[in-house]
Amino acid sequence: MPPEPEARLNRPILLSALVGAAAPLVLAAVGQAQTGPAVIAGLAIAVLGVFLAQRRAETPAAPVVRPVVAAPPDAIPYATILEILDEPVMIIKAGEPGESADHRLVFANTAARALFRIQNLNTRLVTAIRNPQVTELVDEALFGGMAGHGAFDTGGAQDRSWRVMARPLAGPLDGPPLALLTLRDQTDLRRAERMRADFLANASHELRTPLASLSGFIETLRGPARDDAEARDRFLGIMQTQAERMARLIDDLMSLSRIELNEHVAPRGRVDLSMAVTDVVDALTPVIRDRGVTVDWTPPPRGVASIEGDRDQIVQVIQNLVENALKYSPGDAAIRLEVIAPVPGDASPGRDMEGAGLTLLTPDHHAGEHYAVLRVRDSGQGIPRDALPRLTERFYRVEGQKSGDRSGTGLGLAIVKHIVNRHRGGLSVESLEGRGSTFSVWLPLAADPAPDQPLS
């Protein structure tokens, strides 16, 4: 489609025209009156121009695809646009040189007023922002004519991180210097950075603990316990446990990274969920017998719970959930496994027990989708309500359950979540302290007439 004539009148030209038109207006307005709507409006237009130009400078120029709406510039309420921008924008008027506490706000848009609880304009800047770095940036913009940027946190309960930019603003020659202050929310970015750092720290910490115990025992075996056959046997037993723990941890880390790599690739293949559960229960029979736990499992008729999925991964999900249930069950307790299908997608999977419940993963909604639900219920000590949202965090363990013979890596539920997400399924947990927990996984059923079509 050929571009229309207006399309060539792209944004830079419009902008420069706009700022050019606005500048004299601002000069005149500020020169004549100290305050008043005229100043605000004039400044608002100039600032909007600078602001848009600034945004533009940060994003690479893209070809104009859509024609610019051909409305006369003065029909657009620029001050209103500035007012409702999501980013906080402020204009600051310089106080006496050297008196940084005397800078005043000439303008602050809605976002800025809400963020800093600004009641009325012409108040001092420090009463809104007292961060010394921001004060310095503003000083430099006002008296040094230098643009600069920095970062600061607003603190408090809703701690938010901001990138702050200050730049000088052309004002009247005989008036006080002006500066523009804009903020951009960077909270999510900071949080992601922090999570990555925490993950590295946690992973190395988890690996170091068994390693330290291994090297400690090696030292003892080469030294004091060299000729003590009994101690040697005992130590070698512990060393083997620790080495296995390390191996498990590394296995889990590797499978987690593999799953994450493939998370956006839909799985191919058919799995019968109830058959997979039977297989897992069979494989775990020795462990179940050792712990003296009874497993209550009645498979539904074959073929009812046939899902599209990667068999190994589905088995891993079931295994992790059943192993968790085993770990947190006292001896002679019962674990109940249940597969229910088909469950319509718009009906919630339903509650299994009293107590707190939380959905840890919700699949995108597809109309007419039906699910197979797997429920794993234990009668262990339960999970405190405030720990529920953090269950799928890597290396997170519920307080007070870390010690003892529990041999988990803290990655099991993270793996479950990522696999289920890859299968476009959901995950929820319900728990009542002292009574036990139920984990539910729901996975989309395979569409009926779909025998696998070979690609070649």
Partner 1 sequence: MNEHIVRSFEEELNQLAAEVVRMGGLAEAQVNDAIHAFARRDVTQAQAVIARDKKLDGLEVDIERAAIRLIALRQPMANDLRRAMAAMKIAMNLERCGDLAKNIGKRTLILVEAEPAGPVTRSIERMGRLVASRLKEVLDAYIANDVDRAVAVWASDTEVDEHYESLFRELLTYMMGDPRTITAGAHLLFVAKNLERIGDHATNIAEIVHFEITGQEIVSDRPKMDSLSQ
369: nearest Cα among 271, 452, 268, 442: 442
- Distance between first and last Cα of the chain: 38
Kindly tell me which of 129 and 281 has the beta carbon lying closer to partner 1.
129
Give 391-424 as a DSSP string.
TTSTT---TT-SSTT----S-HHHHHHHHHHHTT
Kindly tell me which of 101 and 287 has the beta carbon lying closer to partner 1.
101
Under 8 Å between Cβ of 287 and 421: no
Kindly tell me which of 212 and 236 has the beta carbon lying closer to partner 1.
212
State residue 84 phi and psi, 5-degree precision: -100, 5
- Pick one of 17, 61, 101, 192: the residue that binds partner 1 (CB under 8 A): 101
Kindly tell me which of 181 and 325 has the beta carbon lying closer to partner 1.
181
172: nearest Cα among 20, 39, 16: 39
- Pick one of 10, 110, 135, 220: the residue that binds partner 1 (CB under 8 A): 135
- Pick one of 124, 190, 248, 291: the residue that binds partner 1 (CB under 8 A): 124
Kindly tell me which of 34 and 133 has the beta carbon lying closer to partner 1.
133
When asked if residue 213 is in the footprint of partner 1 (CB under 8 A), the reply is no
Stretch that binds partner 1, among 3-11, 152-160, 171-179, 281-289 (CB under 8 A): 152-160
What whole-number distance in Å separates Cα of residue 314 and Cα of residue 310?
6
- Pick one of 155, 223, 331, 454: the residue that binds partner 1 (CB under 8 A): 155
Q: Taking the complex as a whole, how short is the minimal distance between the CB of residue 159 and partner 1, in angstroms?
A: 8
Site for partner 1 in 358-417 (CB under 8 A): none
When asked if residue 205 is in the footprint of partner 1 (CB under 8 A), the reply is yes
Size of the site for partner 1 (CB under 8 A): 21
- Pick one of 35, 122, 133, 407: the residue that binds partner 1 (CB under 8 A): 133
Kindly tell me which of 139 and 252 has the beta carbon lying closer to partner 1.
139
- Pick one of 132, 145, 344, 434: the residue that binds partner 1 (CB under 8 A): 132
Site for partner 1 in 231-270 (CB under 8 A): none
What whole-number distance in Å separates Cα of residue 95 and Cα of residue 90?
16
* Partners of 169 in the β-ladder: 178
What whole-number distance in Å separates Cα of residue 417 and Cα of residue 429?
12
When asked if residue 100 is in the footprint of partner 1 (CB under 8 A), the reply is yes
What whole-number distance in Å separates Cα of residue 338 and Cα of residue 357?
18
Kindly tell me which of 208 and 302 has the beta carbon lying closer to partner 1.
208
- Pick one of 130, 226, 258, 289: the residue that binds partner 1 (CB under 8 A): 130
* Contacts for 141 with CB less than 8 Å, ≥ 6 apart: 147, 148, 166, 167, 168, 179, 180
When asked if residue 186 is in the footprint of partner 1 (CB under 8 A), the reply is no
Burial of residue 135, with CB atoms counted within 10 A of its CB: 0-12 exposed, 13-18 middle, 19 or more buried: middle
What whole-number distance in Å separates Cα of residue 411 and Cα of residue 429?
16
- Pick one of 2, 59, 66, 99: the residue that binds partner 1 (CB under 8 A): 99
- Pick one of 10, 127, 187, 262: the residue that binds partner 1 (CB under 8 A): 127
Q: In one letter, which amino acid is 391?
A: L
Q: Taking the complex as a whole, how short is the minimal distance between the CB of residue 293 and partner 1, in angstroms?
A: 32
- What's the number of CA atoms in the CB half-sphere (13 Å) around residue 72? 2
- Pick one of 153, 244, 251, 312: the residue that binds partner 1 (CB under 8 A): 153
The beta-carbon contacts of 258-263 under 8 Å, at least 24 apart in sequence, are 259/313, 259/415, 259/418, 259/419, 259/422, 260/418, 262/422, 263/418, 263/421, 263/422
State residue 335 phi and psi, 5-degree precision: -115, 135
Distance, CA of 234 to chain centre: 45
Stretch 66-95: interaction string toward partner 1, x if CB under 8 A: ------------------------------
Count of other CB atoms within 10 angstroms of residue 415: 24
Q: Taking the complex as a whole, how short is the minimal distance between the CB of residue 189 and partner 1, in angstroms?
A: 16
Stretch that binds partner 1, among 128-136, 253-261, 304-312, 387-395 (CB under 8 A): 128-136
Kindly tell me which of 135 and 278 has the beta carbon lying closer to partner 1.
135
| Interacting residues toward partner 1 by CB under 8 A | 99-102, 117, 124, 126-127, 129-133, 135, 153, 155-157, 159, 201, 205
